[in-house]
Amino acid sequence: MFHREGIRIILSAFIIVTVLVISIDYFEIKYGMTIKIFLIIMLGLVLQFFRNPKISVNKNENYILSPVDGKVVIIEEVFEPEFFNDKRLQVSVFMSPLNVHVTRYPISGNIIFSKYHPGKHLVAWHPKSSTKNERTTVVVENNNFGKILYRQIAGAVAKRIINYAKPGKKAVQGEDAGFIKFGSRVDLFLPVGSKINVSINESVKGGVTVISSYN
Protein backbone atom coordinates (compact mmCIF):
# COMPACT_ATOMS: atom_id res chain seq x y z
CA MET A 1 0.00 0.00 0.00
CA PHE A 2 1.37 3.40 -0.98
CA HIS A 3 0.66 6.90 0.29
CA ARG A 4 -1.53 9.04 -1.95
CA GLU A 5 1.18 11.74 -2.10
CA GLY A 6 3.47 9.31 -3.90
CA ILE A 7 1.14 7.93 -6.57
CA ARG A 8 2.12 10.40 -9.30
CA ILE A 9 5.82 10.05 -8.55
CA ILE A 10 5.57 6.24 -8.51
CA LEU A 11 3.70 6.17 -11.84
CA SER A 12 6.18 8.61 -13.41
CA ALA A 13 9.16 6.61 -12.12
CA PHE A 14 7.64 3.35 -13.39
CA ILE A 15 7.03 4.79 -16.86
CA ILE A 16 10.53 6.31 -17.08
CA VAL A 17 12.23 3.10 -15.94
CA THR A 18 10.15 0.99 -18.34
CA VAL A 19 10.97 3.24 -21.30
CA LEU A 20 14.68 3.28 -20.43
CA VAL A 21 14.87 -0.50 -20.01
CA ILE A 22 13.16 -1.05 -23.38
CA SER A 23 15.47 1.54 -25.00
CA ILE A 24 18.56 -0.18 -23.59
CA ASP A 25 17.53 -3.46 -25.24
CA TYR A 26 16.46 -1.80 -28.49
CA PHE A 27 19.66 0.21 -28.96
CA GLU A 28 21.90 -2.48 -27.44
CA ILE A 29 23.52 0.06 -25.13
CA LYS A 30 26.87 -0.88 -23.62
CA TYR A 31 26.70 -1.99 -19.97
CA GLY A 32 22.96 -2.29 -20.44
CA MET A 33 22.49 -4.92 -17.72
CA THR A 34 24.31 -2.76 -15.14
CA ILE A 35 22.17 0.25 -16.04
CA LYS A 36 19.00 -1.85 -15.82
CA ILE A 37 19.91 -3.08 -12.35
CA PHE A 38 20.60 0.49 -11.24
CA LEU A 39 17.24 1.70 -12.62
CA ILE A 40 15.34 -1.11 -10.90
CA ILE A 41 17.08 -0.37 -7.59
CA MET A 42 16.12 3.32 -7.88
CA LEU A 43 12.51 2.37 -8.61
CA GLY A 44 12.57 0.10 -5.56
CA LEU A 45 13.79 2.99 -3.39
CA VAL A 46 10.95 5.20 -4.61
CA LEU A 47 8.43 2.45 -3.85
CA GLN A 48 9.75 1.84 -0.33
CA PHE A 49 9.87 5.56 0.45
CA PHE A 50 6.19 6.12 -0.32
CA ARG A 51 4.96 2.94 1.35
CA ASN A 52 2.07 3.39 3.77
CA PRO A 53 1.64 0.10 5.62
CA LYS A 54 -1.50 -0.56 7.59
CA ILE A 55 -0.92 -0.36 11.33
CA SER A 56 -2.89 -1.14 14.46
CA VAL A 57 -3.03 2.25 16.17
CA ASN A 58 -2.27 2.14 19.89
CA LYS A 59 -5.27 4.40 20.51
CA ASN A 60 -5.66 5.62 24.08
CA GLU A 61 -6.80 9.03 25.37
CA ASN A 62 -4.09 8.82 28.04
CA TYR A 63 -1.27 8.47 25.48
CA ILE A 64 0.65 10.85 23.26
CA LEU A 65 1.83 8.64 20.41
CA SER A 66 4.83 9.16 18.18
CA PRO A 67 3.66 11.02 15.07
CA VAL A 68 6.23 9.28 12.84
CA ASP A 69 8.58 6.33 12.46
CA GLY A 70 12.20 7.09 13.27
CA LYS A 71 14.71 7.60 16.06
CA VAL A 72 14.43 9.89 19.10
CA VAL A 73 17.23 12.46 18.82
CA ILE A 74 16.20 15.17 21.30
CA ILE A 75 14.55 15.18 24.72
CA GLU A 76 15.04 18.53 26.41
CA GLU A 77 13.34 21.54 27.96
CA VAL A 78 13.32 24.48 25.55
CA PHE A 79 11.66 27.84 24.96
CA GLU A 80 8.96 27.53 22.25
CA PRO A 81 8.64 30.96 20.58
CA GLU A 82 5.98 30.50 17.91
CA PHE A 83 2.81 29.55 19.76
CA PHE A 84 3.35 29.06 23.50
CA ASN A 85 6.05 31.65 24.15
CA ASP A 86 7.13 29.72 27.21
CA LYS A 87 9.11 26.64 28.17
CA ARG A 88 8.07 23.25 26.81
CA LEU A 89 9.49 19.74 26.79
CA GLN A 90 10.69 18.98 23.27
CA VAL A 91 10.85 15.42 21.94
CA SER A 92 12.21 15.13 18.39
CA VAL A 93 12.10 12.13 16.05
CA PHE A 94 14.45 11.96 13.08
CA MET A 95 13.38 10.07 9.96
CA SER A 96 15.93 8.66 7.55
CA PRO A 97 14.97 8.18 3.88
CA LEU A 98 14.34 4.50 4.72
CA ASN A 99 11.62 5.23 7.28
CA VAL A 100 7.90 5.44 6.55
CA HIS A 101 7.29 9.19 6.16
CA VAL A 102 3.59 9.37 7.01
CA THR A 103 2.84 11.89 9.77
CA ARG A 104 0.10 10.79 12.20
CA TYR A 105 -1.86 12.75 14.78
CA PRO A 106 -0.23 12.06 18.18
CA ILE A 107 -3.49 12.72 20.07
CA SER A 108 -7.16 13.21 19.32
CA GLY A 109 -8.68 16.65 19.82
CA ASN A 110 -9.43 19.99 18.21
CA ILE A 111 -6.94 21.47 15.76
CA ILE A 112 -6.57 25.07 16.92
CA PHE A 113 -3.49 26.20 14.99
CA SER A 114 -1.80 25.23 11.71
CA LYS A 115 0.83 27.30 9.92
CA TYR A 116 3.32 26.71 7.11
CA HIS A 117 6.74 28.39 7.10
CA PRO A 118 9.04 28.45 4.06
CA GLY A 119 12.68 28.15 5.01
CA LYS A 120 16.08 26.56 4.62
CA HIS A 121 16.97 22.90 4.21
CA LEU A 122 19.60 22.33 6.87
CA VAL A 123 20.21 18.72 7.86
CA ALA A 124 17.26 17.62 10.01
CA TRP A 125 19.37 17.02 13.13
CA HIS A 126 20.80 20.56 13.06
CA PRO A 127 19.86 22.48 16.28
CA LYS A 128 18.42 25.37 14.26
CA SER A 129 16.36 23.26 11.84
CA SER A 130 13.29 23.58 14.09
CA THR A 131 13.17 27.34 13.54
CA LYS A 132 15.11 27.89 10.28
CA ASN A 133 14.00 25.07 7.95
CA GLU A 134 10.86 24.74 5.88
CA ARG A 135 8.26 23.53 8.40
CA THR A 136 4.65 23.38 9.50
CA THR A 137 3.42 23.90 13.04
CA VAL A 138 0.19 22.28 14.27
CA VAL A 139 -1.43 22.54 17.70
CA VAL A 140 -4.02 20.02 18.89
CA GLU A 141 -5.95 20.53 22.11
CA ASN A 142 -7.65 17.85 24.20
CA ASN A 143 -8.92 17.46 27.75
CA ASN A 144 -6.10 15.34 29.21
CA PHE A 145 -2.98 17.02 27.84
CA GLY A 146 -4.19 20.49 26.99
CA LYS A 147 -2.41 21.97 23.96
CA ILE A 148 0.18 19.80 22.22
CA LEU A 149 2.29 21.21 19.39
CA TYR A 150 3.96 19.12 16.70
CA ARG A 151 6.18 20.47 13.97
CA GLN A 152 7.00 18.82 10.63
CA ILE A 153 10.50 19.86 9.55
CA ALA A 154 12.02 19.40 6.12
CA GLY A 155 15.60 18.13 6.05
CA ALA A 156 18.49 18.61 3.62
CA VAL A 157 16.85 16.33 1.05
CA ALA A 158 13.16 16.92 1.80
CA LYS A 159 11.69 19.53 -0.53
CA ARG A 160 8.01 19.41 0.28
CA ILE A 161 5.90 19.09 3.42
CA ILE A 162 2.31 17.91 3.17
CA ASN A 163 0.03 18.97 6.03
CA TYR A 164 -3.64 17.97 6.24
CA ALA A 165 -4.34 19.61 9.63
CA LYS A 166 -6.70 22.58 9.38
CA PRO A 167 -7.92 24.78 12.26
CA GLY A 168 -11.45 23.93 13.31
CA LYS A 169 -11.19 20.30 12.28
CA LYS A 170 -10.90 17.27 14.54
CA ALA A 171 -7.66 15.34 14.90
CA VAL A 172 -8.07 11.59 15.35
CA GLN A 173 -5.17 9.89 17.10
CA GLY A 174 -3.08 7.78 14.73
CA GLU A 175 -4.79 8.93 11.53
CA ASP A 176 -2.92 10.40 8.56
CA ALA A 177 -1.97 14.04 9.26
CA GLY A 178 0.43 14.55 6.36
CA PHE A 179 3.66 13.49 4.70
CA ILE A 180 7.24 14.77 4.39
CA LYS A 181 9.02 13.89 1.18
CA PHE A 182 12.59 12.57 1.45
CA GLY A 183 14.24 12.81 4.89
CA SER A 184 13.01 14.94 7.77
CA ARG A 185 12.18 15.39 11.45
CA VAL A 186 9.12 15.93 13.64
CA ASP A 187 9.26 17.82 16.95
CA LEU A 188 6.70 17.42 19.74
CA PHE A 189 6.33 20.16 22.36
CA LEU A 190 4.74 18.91 25.58
CA PRO A 191 3.99 20.56 28.93
CA VAL A 192 7.04 20.75 31.20
CA GLY A 193 6.93 17.86 33.65
CA SER A 194 5.24 15.46 31.21
CA LYS A 195 6.07 11.80 31.77
CA ILE A 196 8.33 10.66 28.93
CA ASN A 197 8.20 6.99 27.96
CA VAL A 198 11.07 6.97 25.43
CA SER A 199 14.81 7.63 25.53
CA ILE A 200 17.45 9.13 23.25
CA ASN A 201 18.34 6.93 20.23
CA GLU A 202 15.27 4.76 20.76
CA SER A 203 13.52 3.63 17.57
CA VAL A 204 9.83 4.58 17.55
CA LYS A 205 6.85 3.77 15.34
CA GLY A 206 4.23 6.32 14.32
CA GLY A 207 0.80 5.70 15.80
CA VAL A 208 2.15 2.92 18.04
CA THR A 209 4.99 4.03 20.35
CA VAL A 210 3.90 5.95 23.45
CA ILE A 211 5.95 9.14 23.76
CA SER A 212 4.18 10.36 26.91
CA SER A 213 1.42 9.02 29.15
CA TYR A 214 -1.09 10.78 31.36
CA ASN A 215 -1.04 9.53 34.98
Residues marked as catalytic: 184
Q: What is the DSSP letter of 10?
A: H
Q: Which of 156, 170, 150 is nearest to 119 (CA)?
A: 156
Under 8 Å between Cβ of 183 and 124: yes
Of the candidates 115, 91, 95, the one whose C-alpha atom is nearest the C-alpha of residue 165 is: 115
Query: Whole-angstrom Cα distance, residue 109 to residue 121?
Result: 31
- Distance (Å, whole) CA 46 – CA 55: 21
Q: How many alpha carbons lie under 13 Å from residue 173 in its C-beta half-sphere? A: 23
Q: From CA 114, how far away is CA 13, in angstroms rounded?
A: 32
